[in-house]
Structures are given as structure tokens and as C-alpha cells.
Amino acid sequence: MSGSYLLPNGRILRYTFRERIVHWLAAVSYVYLLLTGLAFWSPWLFWIAVVLGGPTVSREVHDWAGLLFVSATFLMLRMWGSQMREAPGDKAWWRAMPHYIRNEDEAMPSADRFNPGQKLLFWGFFTCGILLLLSGLILWFTDLIPWNLRFLRYLAVILHPASALITIGLFMIHLYMGTAAERGAFGSVIRGDVSRSWALKHHRLWFEQILRNESARK
């Protein structure tokens, strides 16, 4: 957290270049995994694999894209792990959740750099990512599993889609909030900055900390 988060143009740096790169590494690989995964999930969606270069290509690249995605989530853990830890005010935030849903944000407890919902998103994706990796490796190398260890295959075949479905739920909410619902959020992960009012409204504790750091610097 070195360097100034107050930009010369009066805006606030929300995500550094490194954070944005890692985010989009995860995002692009996840969307590819989602689309090819859905193609193998239902015969009605098999056409997606055909569009994305053929089903055999989709099946082969899905594995490697999975490794890329899990690597990105581990980079996120390194960058954000400490900021994703549960804080004392988180329970109050969850209790005030109905206000958040109804866009009554003034009734919400102040959030730090990541609000408890974002923390849930991160840990949900991270945990499911590990489950998907483990079950995915079994499915990748199915032919190497000996017959007397076949329970591993049975485990993987149910665990992989089940944990993928959880990430799809998280992903839909994340995509909706990041693009449609929370105006200014998409710009923060593209250009990296947000307005002062945005920072104040959505991540007040984080914003105040930035201001404190800045006055200490002066």
C-alpha cells in the first residue's frame, strides 16, 4: 500500500495496474471456463463449444484455462488476502443487508476497502477455485485413476459442476453489480480510479484512511 492513492486529477486510485491485470486475467479465463463448461453441462448449450473452435479444442483448452484461473486467484490471495479478512463491523453490515439491496446505502455501516459482500465473493471464488482445481485434475487425468480408486472419479464428477454452480451464482451478482448496478465500479477496474464521492459513499473507512495517510505524508 505504498504510493499515493490521491491522483493529481483529484480522483482516487481504487485498483493499481497490477490489480487490474490480475482481475482481468481471472475474468477472461473464468468467462472462457464458464462458456466451455456450460457447453459440456447441457446438450442444449453444446453449440457454444462448436462456436469456440470446436468441442475437442474446448475440452483441451478448458483444462489449461482452469490452471490460469486458479493461478490468478492465488495472485489475488497474495494481493488482497490481508484486506479480505473478517473485520469487527462485518456482522453489522450483513444485518443491514436489506438496506443495501434497496439501495439505501446511507443506512449501511461504513465499509473498508472491501465490504463484507466483496469478501464473501473473494473467499467463495477462492474456495470453489480450489475444489474445481482438485476435481478438475481428476477429470483431466481420468484415465490414470486406477479402477480401485474410482470413487475419486465419482467424487469429481459431482463436485466439479456443484462448485462451478456456486461460482456462477457469485459471478452473476458480481457482474451485475460491477456493470449495471453500481455506477463507477466498472471504471475502477478498467481505468483504476473512482471519484471522491464514490469512495466516500461505498468505502468510507478506506477513503478516510487514504486521507489520513495523505495528511501524515504532508
Partner 1 sequence: MSQATLEIRAISGHAGPVPGAGVKREFEVCKLIDTTTCIGCKACEVACLEWNGYTFSETTFDNSYQTMPETAWNYWNLIKFNEHERDDGSLMLLMRKDQCMHCEEPGCLAACPADGAIVQYTNGIVDFQQDHCIGCGYCITGCPFNIPKFSPQARKVFKCTLCVDRVSQGLEPACIKACPTGCLHFGTKPEMKEIAEQRATQLRDHSGFANAGVYDPPGIGGTHVVYVLHDATNPEAYGGLPKDPRIPLMVRLWKTPLKWLGNLAMIGGVVGLFVHYLRFGPKIVEEDDEKSQQERNR
Residue with Cβ nearer partner 1 (22 or 65): 65
Point out which span in 21-29, 43-51, 90-98, 129-137 binds partner 1 (CB under 8 A): 43-51
CB-count burial class (<10 Å; 0-12, 13-18, 19+) for 39: buried
- Candidate residues 33, 139, 188, 193; the one interacting with partner 1 per rule CB under 8 A: 139
Cell of 54: 470446436
Q: Measured at the alpha carbon of residue 38, what is the angle toward residues 35 and 44, in degrees to the nearest 5?
A: 115
Point out which span in 14-22, 67-75, 121-129, 165-173 binds partner 1 (CB under 8 A): 165-173
CA dihedral over 134, 136, 139, 141, signed as positive or negative: negative
Distance in Å, CB of 52 to partner 1, minimum: 12
Segment 192 to 211, residues that bind partner 1, using CB under 8 A: 195-198, 200-202, 207, 211
- Grid-cell match 443506512, residue found: 107
Q: Is 9 helix (H, G, I), strand (E, B) or coil?
A: coil
Distance CA 196, CA 201 (A): 9
| Footprint on this chain of partner 1 (rule: CB under 8 A) | 10, 39-43, 46, 49, 55-56, 58-60, 101-103, 105, 139, 142-143, 147, 150, 153-158, 161-162, 165, 168-169, 172-173, 176, 180-184, 195-198, 200-202, 207, 211
